[in-house]
Structure 1
Amino acid sequence: MAETASDLSPDASAEIAAALNQALAETVVATMLAQNFHWNVTGMAFGPLHALFQTIYEDHFVGQDDLAERVRALGETAEGKLATHLERSKVTEGDASAEDREMIRHMAEAEETIGATLAGLSEVAAGHGDIRTEDLAIERGRIHDKFAWMLRAHLRDRV
């Protein structure tokens, strides 16, 4: 087990940082996705969706910083170009003119994608004994799972 980031080998730090940068890219794209939907949602659920999308992008903005700072703590470079994030991310941009249910679906899929990426990051970190990155990945994963659940709850059809 690595007691500090500096206890990790250069190869381990690079591998963990690559996984962190993947999570960072997806979080950056999802932040903008949530903000886009926050600005443009309409319909009967405007109020709660407008507020939920804001909660998501505010959380993700903080999450970006946590992920990037962990990359730096490992002595690696945190990716900072938007073009690089868009190219690398498995989360895609959304259509501002989409119907509210499509926005919800797209955002829920983004949350699930990030959750899966964070689970992979946790495994990489655990494999190198980096409990701090593993802990960060697990905590962020819980947050994304919760947002996915909250979004999917809006899609349940009424009986």
Structure 2
Amino acid sequence: MTQTAANLSPDATTAIAEALNQSVAETAVTTMLAQNFHWNVTGMGFGPLHALFQEIYEDHFVAQDDLAERIKALDAHAEGMLAGMLKRSKVTEHDGHADDKTMIKAMMDAQVTLAATLGGAGELAAEHGDTLTEDLCIARGQTHEKFAWMLRAHLR
């Protein structure tokens, strides 16, 4: 049975909101990672990588809002502090002092992590019948897998 945000149990709402907050945190950290790499990439691949990193951070900026708004639709608290996001995130910051291949690998790894986190959040939502959250997580996970593939192609 499909549940609406209003019909989810308090335990389900808490668990789903926690999974979404994990997703927001990792998306936020990855957004800044992409922007950092966009600013600092150099070398023969500068043009396409500069553009790809920009495409990633622009996509992720919108995604943060979509995920946080879903948390609010569940009537839960959306983590909005950078310190909290950094503490929670499995994606780590990078100082931007790296060659292009290191940047690509770090961004690819972040995309893989995000896809897995969103996959888990989607599965949790499905277990509770929250198809709206499940659909959001599936769509976002597909986007991150696509970015991971695009980045992986640069390393081959």
TM-score between both structures, scaled by the size of structure 1: 0.97
Aligned to 1:99: 99
Cα distance in structure 2, aligned partners of 1:68 and 1:117: 15
Aligned to 2:51: 51
Aligned to 1:5: 5
How far does the alpha carbon of each residue in 1:65-111 deviate from its partner, in whole angstroms, 9 at most, with x for none?
Answer: 00000000000000000000000000000121100000000000000
The equivalences for 1:1-159 within 5 A come to: 1-156=1-156
The Cα of 1:2 is off from its aligned counterpart by 3.5
The Cα of 1:4 is off from its aligned counterpart by 1.7
- Given that residues 3 and 128 in structure 2 are in contact (C-alpha distance below 8 angstroms), is that contact kept between their aligned partners in structure 1? no
Count of paired positions: 156
SS at match of 1:80: coil
Cα distance in structure 2, aligned partners of 1:3 and 1:148: 32
The Cα of 1:6 is off from its aligned counterpart by 0.2
Identity fraction in percent: 68
Cα distance in structure 1, aligned partners of 2:108 and 2:95: 15
- Given that residues 35 and 54 in structure 1 are in contact (C-alpha distance below 8 angstroms), is that contact kept between their aligned partners in structure 2? yes
- Match of 2:72, as an amino acid? R
Cα distance in structure 1, aligned partners of 2:106 and 2:16: 28
Cα distance in structure 2, aligned partners of 1:58 and 1:101: 21
- Match of 1:134, as an amino acid? E
TM-score between both structures, scaled by the size of structure 2: 0.99
Runs of 4+ more than 3 Å apart: none
Over the residues paired in the alignment, what is the CA RMSD in angstroms? 0.6
